[in-house]
């Protein structure tokens, strides 16, 4: 039932910034925890950041201090602000409800390269 559309990815130089957006429909968005994941070729998908219904956030160590996850319950949208991007951040980024076995969306490609 849940529908997810990620957007905002692109090509950026090291040190640059991107803001990803995730539009969610089909559910009561404000009652669910949300998360951003990423996957690079040859690597396992990893949890990057999560935000609970309370607003509490958590991040994987490699992005702490550089990425910020936020949610706008009025617009059923979750964002990922990515600053000081590094080549290692290159991946397809996905948005999903935390701890739910939802189908993955198409994701949005982030490429960090000079």
Residues 89, 83: Cα–Cα separation, whole Å: 10
**How many helices, marked H, and strands, marked E, lie in the chain?**
0, 10
Residue owning tokens 């309370």: 54
Give residue 43's pLDDT band: very low, low, confident or very high (50, 70, 90).
very high
Q: What is the tens place of the pLDDT at every residue in 57-109? A: 999 999 999 999 999 999 999 999 999 999 999 999 999 999 999 999 999 99
Task: Quick: pLDDT tens for 24-37.
Answer: 999 999 999 999 99
pLDDT given for residue 1 in this prediction: 80
In the structure encoding, which two tokens stand for residue 78, read together? 């979750």
């Amino acid at each position: 039932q849940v529908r997810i559309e990620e957007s905002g990815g692109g090509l950026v130089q090291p040190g640059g910034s991107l803001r990803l957006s995730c539009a969610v429909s089909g559910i009561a968005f404000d009652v669910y925890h949300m998360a951003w994941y990423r996957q690079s070729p040859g690597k396992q998908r990893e949890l990057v950041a999560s935000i609970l219904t309370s607003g509490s956030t958590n991040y994987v160590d490699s992005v702490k201090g550089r990425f910020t996850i936020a949610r706008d319950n009025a617009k059923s949208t979750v964002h990922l602000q990515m600053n000081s991007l590094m080549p290692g951040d290159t991946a397809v980024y996905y948005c999903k409800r935390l701890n739910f076995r939802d189908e993955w969306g198409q994701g949005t490609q982030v490429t960090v390269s000079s």
